[in-house]
Amino acid sequence: MKQTLKKLVETFGPSGHEQAVRDVINSLVSECADEIRTDALGNLIVRKKGSGKKVMLAAHMDEIGLIVSYIDKNGFARINPVGGVRTLYEVCGRVLFENGTVGVIGMEKMGGSSQAPPIEKLFVDVAASSPETCPVRVGDVGCFLQPMVQTGGHLTAKAMDDRVGCAILIEVIRKLKVSPYDLYFVFSAQEEVGTRGAVTSAFGIRPDVGIAVDVTLTGDTPEPQVKMAVSLDKGPAIKVKDSGMLATPWVKDWMIDTAESGKIPYQLEVLLGGTTDARAIQTSRAGVPVGCLSVPCRYVHSPSETVSYADVRHTVKLLAALLSSPVHPRLA
């Protein structure tokens, strides 16, 4: 599973440019699926047929990135964000563009300010001296360049948000032999710019229940920016609430009961800012009951997002148990 995750996080795939990630996932699940299709927005939908109610599982393929807005007279690429880019994390990092060009993110003088620079103060150095010699052009999209490394039981890379969720769904697809549900595994597009892929896929699938798998913040580092009761190495976080969604109580309780009966460690998550594909599923058509399993992640939306491999494995175990256990009374 580590090799699957390494391949996923190191693949190019900013929002709207998920093709390479989609191809990797397709190759990994094609032998285990009953149906695979790609919809108009670019979501990869993998079905494992069943005779029961429809359960939609969603993890997004896209990652945050940058888009070239103009090239200045000295050949430096000026940029705008694609998704929730945090400029303080990006200065002096490296960017990989879709055409293979690699650049370094630089910053203009800030007059002694210690605050995070606005995006207008950043540029990408691609070793050009003029617009004519610049190897990228307006509209080109880039992602952060950072290989996956392991330190103890923790894994660090760019795009853990949410390739770790994709890796979890891939592992469940491989492991799950029988389920009492009709399962739709959606590897969604454009989540980082407004959960757009989950909007269209949920509309088309018409699920009876939805479960998103994504990352969440932690409160376990010194003086964390957000205080919350989630830590690495303590199991997946079962979401209660975020800024866009209140988990359906019976779905949340279903997750808790399954974790406790299987002796799987878990945490409860209340996230003050941010949301997931679960929000889009929940508000689709006339409404869908939803829950979300979150992988605790330090340094979210940076080139060094960090997760616990034990938490990842426990998330797989919990999700597989949910989908293979007897039919929940609400879905009978």
Q: Is residue 84 part of a domain?
A: yes
Query: Is 105 a member of any domain?
Result: yes
Mean per-residue pLDDT for 10-37? 96
Is residue 180 domain-shared with residue 40, that is, in the same domain? yes
Q: Are 55 and 192 contained in the same domain?
A: yes
At residue 9 the predicted structure's pLDDT band, cuts being 50, 70 and 90, is: very high
Q: Give the domain CATH number at 122.
A: 2.40.30.40
Is residue 120 annotated as part of the catalytic site, yes or no? no
Cβ-proximal residues to 50 (8 Å cutoff; 6+ apart), any chain: 179, 180, 181, 182, 183
Q: In this predicted model, what pLDDT tens digit does every residue of 25-35 receive, in sequence order?
A: 999 999 999 99
pLDDT of residue 113: 63
Q: Looking at the structure, do residues 132 and 221 belong to the same domain, yes or no? A: no
Interatomic CA distance for residues 26 and 24, integer angstroms: 5
Domain identity same for 179 and 237: yes
On whether both 229 and 304 belong to a single domain, the answer is yes
For 98, the domain range is 65-144
Q: Is residue 150 part of a domain?
A: no
Quick one: pLDDT at residue 226? 84
The verdict on 208 and 252 lying in the same domain is: yes
State mean pLDDT over 285-298.
Answer: 98
Question: Does one domain contain both 108 and 208?
Answer: no
Whether residue 116 is found in the same domain as residue 223: no
Residue 300 in tokens: 């979210």
Tell me the per-residue pLDDT of 140-150, one tens digit each, with 9 for 90 and over: 999 999 999 99
Q: What is the pLDDT of residue 16?
A: 97
SS3 320: helix
* Buried residues in 33-71 as b, exposed as e (16+ CB within 10 A): beeeeebebbbbbbbbebeebbbbbbbbbbbbbbbbeeb
In a domain, 242, yes or no: yes
**Of 112, 144, 176, the domain-final residue:** 144
Residues facing residue 59 across a β-bridge: 187
Question: What CATH number is associated with residue 242?
Answer: 3.40.630.10
Domain-located, residue 229: yes
- Consecutive H or E run containing 171: helix 160-175
For 193-251, write each residue's pLDDT tens digit: 999 999 999 999 999 999 999 999 999 999 988 889 999 999 999 999 999 999 999 99
Burial of 256 (0-12, 13-18, 19+ CB in 10 A): middle
**Together in a domain, 204 and 276:** yes
Mean pLDDT calculated for residue range 299-306: 95
Instruction: Kindly report, residue by residue over 63-118, the tens digit of the pLDDT.
Output: 999 999 999 999 999 999 999 998 888 889 999 999 999 999 999 987 666 678 88
- Into how many domains does the chain fold? 2
Using the predicted structure, report yes or no on whether residue 297 has a pLDDT greater than 70: yes
* Residue after which a domain boundary falls, among 96, 112, 144: 144
pLDDT digits (tens, 9 = 90+) for 157-207: 999 999 999 999 999 999 998 999 999 999 999 999 999 999 999 999 999
Judgement on whether residues 178 and 310 belong to the same structural domain of the protein: yes
36 pLDDT tier (thresholds 50, 70, 90)? very high
Q: Which residues pair with 269 in a beta bridge?
A: 239
- Domain-located, residue 149: no
Instruction: Identify the burial level of 133 via C-beta atoms within 10 angstroms of its C-beta, where 0-12 means exposed, 13-18 middle and 19 or more buried.
Output: exposed
Q: Are residue 43 and residue 70 in the same domain, yes or no?
A: no
Catalytic annotation, pick one of 18, 63, 90, 191: 191
Same-domain status, 73 and 53:
no
In a domain, 152, yes or no: no
